[in-house]
Structure 1
Amino acid sequence: MKRATHLEAIRRSLNVIMLISVFVTCYFAKDLLLPVLLGFLIALTLSPLSRGMARIGIPHWVSAVGLIGIVALAIAAVIYFASGTVVGWMDSARSMGTELQTKLSGLFRQLEHVRQAGAEVANMGGANGPEGEAVQEVVVKQPTLIDSAMNVVSSAGATLAVSLVLASFLLASGDMFYIKLVQSFPTMSGKKRALTMVYDIERRVSHYLLTIALINAGLGLCVGAVLWLIGMPYAYIWGIAAFLLNFLPYLGALTGVALVAALSILTFDSFSYALLAPAAYLTLTTLEGNFITPMLLGRRLELNTVAVFLTVVLWGWLWGIAGALVAVPFLVVFKVVADNIEGMEIVGNFLGAADDTHHEKEPASEPAPEPDTVSAQPEDIGDMTPHAAV
């Protein structure tokens, strides 16, 4: 009994060490893992379209080239039309900040007095050395904002390029990886169970990712159109920003509202009219988050808000903004995998919403193939038959 207790303690300690090792590896291997993870997410998002094109006779490699080409052209178009304006904003960020501070000085006058008083005290105490001699300041020249932005853009461009190439290979391979996975099981019941599970994972995750991408695209169009009607300059850029920021739950909407409010105050002379733009942005994101997304997605993949927040914080700490953007899709993938793997149902239940008391999961002993999974692949099952155990 004592030996079994020691073995269980050792096993738990090893699990903790392995978990820590995984996070350490993720932290130091960001440049390698991020494009791989992003490539898999892009492939999962586009897999329903690729599979639908295959049903009408279009080869997988043709649909992969076409879909990835469309995505690459869309990204290139966004960069082409938005880069000049964004670079201009970054170049004049300091002057814009000064102007914004001037316009808001009436609201923060008392805080400004306190800051100035503190600055004067600091200058009085540090202006001269102990001998009354002037202290020579050494200023280290920091890289400009444009230089830092170019470094980020070049790194992001390399990551996107690798991700798109990997996604194209994954889409072009069709069902090859699924077939290889299923062939590794010795019995026919094991093959069917594995095939049902992997297709269920693909169907639910790809449905979520594609639906969220389309919802965010619709939100971006609405935000851009409403801000254009209000009179905001470069409204299409804010539409693009809304599309990207909405992948980041909670913080994305707040960040978008704050940025729109800042530029709106700089643009319009009337403070009350300037509040229309952030109010419209907040209204649209609220409608999307509370009505549109739940209506289109249902409650099948609704997540625990605490788990979502902690996941965003964790991956944001590990990988920065890129990690925060892919945190929720990664959490959805992990939840679906946990729901479909025996022994991980507790984890899947914890990640679910408060009223998610059951999972839509078939019993492991009696798999029920969907019409578009096992039964739709008779030739694959037939090819696997010789590998079954005798």
Structure 2
Amino acid sequence: MTPMDDAPRPGDTSEVPEADRLSLPEPFFSLEARVAQVGIFVIMFAAALYIARDFAMPVTFAFLLALVLSPIVRRMRRIGIPEVLSAAALVVLFLATLGTMVWFLADPVQRWIADAPQFAAEFRDKLTLFRGPVDQVLEASKRIEESATAGVPAPQRVVVEQGGFISEAVVGVPLIFAKIALCVVLLFFLLASGDMFYEKLVKVLPTLSDKKRGVRIAREIEREISHYLLTVTVINAGLGVALGLAMWAVGLPNPFLWGLVGGLLNFLPYVGAFLSAALVAAVSFVSFNTVGEILLAPGVYYLVNAFEGQVITPALVGRRLEMNPVAVFVAVAFWGWIWGIAGAIMAVPLLVIVKTVADYIDGYAALGEFLTARTTEEKD
């Protein structure tokens, strides 16, 4: 048995043993100086992430994927497959999965873009009953404005022409492919390097006990994060299938498109479920006529999402990695502000990394406690 084998398993609710924690030296600065240092660091770190987003975003995503796939590479090495071959196979599988998703989405997305004007017109027509009072208020406001500006020459308007969608796409596509290439190449090297990080860690730490403890902690952090990310990915894939079947059962147009959208958006905690349910509600509003039919699709969509969030995810992810909802929401908002939709998707995995590292380092246990959801005893 190696020092890594006796680490606690993911989902274990027991406290991290004191012997498994890394001790950091006590700070010799005052509390005010430490708070100021942290504040300055956070501001500079956020600015650097925003400025370097085209580089930092694919690099971060590659490291997250490597955390998920590294245990697979290690298992394949145990049966005699070299890291380079297993890394190449996993990268090809990742690209094939990404290409399949793009191929599956291309046709329905193109059709929805083509039908968008008609969809918007039908949506406006169905809102006619609710627009009457609003139109009257807008008309009255327009008349008041015209009477107030009577006799005053209208200012000359300056129109600044902007590039169209095609020109923006032509400029943006090379950058997107460059990000994907950077992510894929870095992912390959991370997977092909095998246990190089652990070997370097053993060389850096001074004593034998520190070497054993450091390797044990690093392996446990990798195990927990890999368990979380892989489990959530499988859950969201299953959720997409369940949502697609549910929307097919209620007769919603393009049901499996909305299932795929729901599975992808579920990587965004809270916000993703709301956005996908709102899209389904809008499509249902246009597609059906009676109130019962209109409410059925979003109602079923919400029930499936609620069952996944309240039952499936807590049961499979484990109580140990349940996160504070406030911390999750702030993390999603922050990373979404810094990196857009990709940052919002990576927010929770990054928060799990911070929480897991804090659990194993003395002096940061309080941070890990704040990031953890309330236990049953605390609720009582």
Which letter maps to 1:274?
I
Q: Which residue of structure 2 aligns with residue 21 of structure 1?
A: 44
2:121 match: 98
Q: Retained in 2: the 8 A contact 1:232–1:264?
A: yes
CA distance in 1, matches of 2:175, 2:361: 36
Equivalence for 2:23: none
Q: What residue number does 1:130 align with?
A: 152
Matched, 1:10 2:33: yes
1:294-351 Cα deviation digits (max 9, x unpaired): 1111201001111111111111111221211111111011111111122111111110
- Give the TM-score taking structure 2 as reference length: 0.84
Alignment partners' CA distance in 2, 1:120 and 1:96? 31
Say if 1:279 and 1:26 are closer, same or farther in 2 by CA, change over 3 A. Answer: same
1:176–1:277 CA distance, 2 compared to 1 (3 A) = same
Partner in structure 1 of residue 106 of structure 2? 83
How far does residue 14 in structure 1 lie from its aligned partner after superposition? 2.5
For residues 55 and 41 of structure 1, what CA distance do their matches in structure 2 show?
23
Aligned to 1:252: 272
Alignment counterpart, residue 62 of structure 1, candidates 78, 82, 85: 85
2:205 match: secondary structure = coil
Q: Which deviates further from its counterpart, 278-287 or 58-67? A: 58-67
Unaligned runs of 5+ in 1: 359-390
- Within the candidate set 325, 329, 335, 1:305 is matched to 325
Moved more, 177-186 or 199-208: 177-186
Is 2:288 aligned against 1:268?
Answer: yes
Taking structure 1 as the reference length, the TM-score comes to 0.82
Q: Which residue of 2 aligns with 1:318?
A: 338
- The 1:233–1:304 alpha-carbon spacing in structure 2 relative to 1, beyond 3 Å, is same
Q: Which residues in structure 2 correspond to 1:341-356 (within 5 Å)? A: 341-355=361-375
1:199 lines up with 2:222 in the alignment: no
Report percent identity of matched pairs: 43
User: What is the aligned counterpart of 1:118 among 118, 141, 166?
Assistant: 141
Other-structure match for 2:4: none
Q: Which residue is 1:188 aligned to?
A: 208
Residue 111 of structure 1: how far off its partner (Å): 3.1
**Alpha-carbon separation, structure 1, partners of 2:81 and 2:143:** 72
Change (3 A) 1:72 1:9: same
Q: Which moved more, 1:87-96 or 1:145-154?
A: 145-154
CA deviation vs aligned residue, 1:90-131 (integer Å, no higher than 9, x gap): 3553443232122122245433433444345456666x7625
1:231 corresponds to which of 246, 251, 270? 251
2:189 to 148, 151, 169: 169
Cα distance between partner residues in 1 of 2:195 and 2:40: 35
| Bigger relative contact order (CA 8 A; separation at least 6) | 2
How far the C-alpha of 1:215 sits from its partner, in A, is: 0.1
User: CA RMSD for the aligned pairs?
Assistant: 2.6
The residue type equivalent to 1:191 in the other structure is: K
How many pairs does the alignment contain? 352
Distance 1:231 1:22, change over 3 A: same
Distance in 2, matches of 1:75 and 1:125, equals 58
Query: Could you tell me how far apart the structure 2 residues matched to 1:280 and 1:153 are?
Result: 37
Q: Which amino acid aligns with 2:152?
A: P
Cα distance change, pair 112–168 in 1 and its aligned pair in 2 (3 A): farther
Is 1:45–1:209's contact at 8 Å kept on the other side of the alignment? yes
Inter-partner Cα distance in structure 2 for 1:228 and 1:156: 33
CA separation in 2, counterparts of 1:152 and 1:25?
22
Q: 1:312, 1:327 within 8 Å by CA — same for their partners in 2? A: yes
Q: In the alignment, does 2:183 pair up with 1:160?
A: no
Please tell me whether the aligned partners of residues 87 and 146 of structure 1 are also in contact (alpha carbons under 8 angstroms): no
Identify the match of residue 262 of structure 2 among 225, 232, 242. 242
Distance 1:125 1:65 in 2: 71
> Is the partner of 1:106 in helix, strand or coil?
helix
Q: 1:169: Cα distance to partner? A: 1.5
- TM-aligned CA distance change 1:5 to 1:332, over 3 Å: closer
Distance 1:91 1:85 in 2: 10
Instruction: Provide the C-alpha distance between the structure 2 equivalents of 1:96 and 1:114, rounded to a whole number of angstroms.
Output: 26
Cα distance between partner residues in 1 of 2:173 and 2:96: 17
Secondary structure of the residue aligned to 2:320 is coil
Any runs of at least 4 consecutive aligned residues in structure 1 with deviations exceeding 6 A, and if so which?
Answer: none
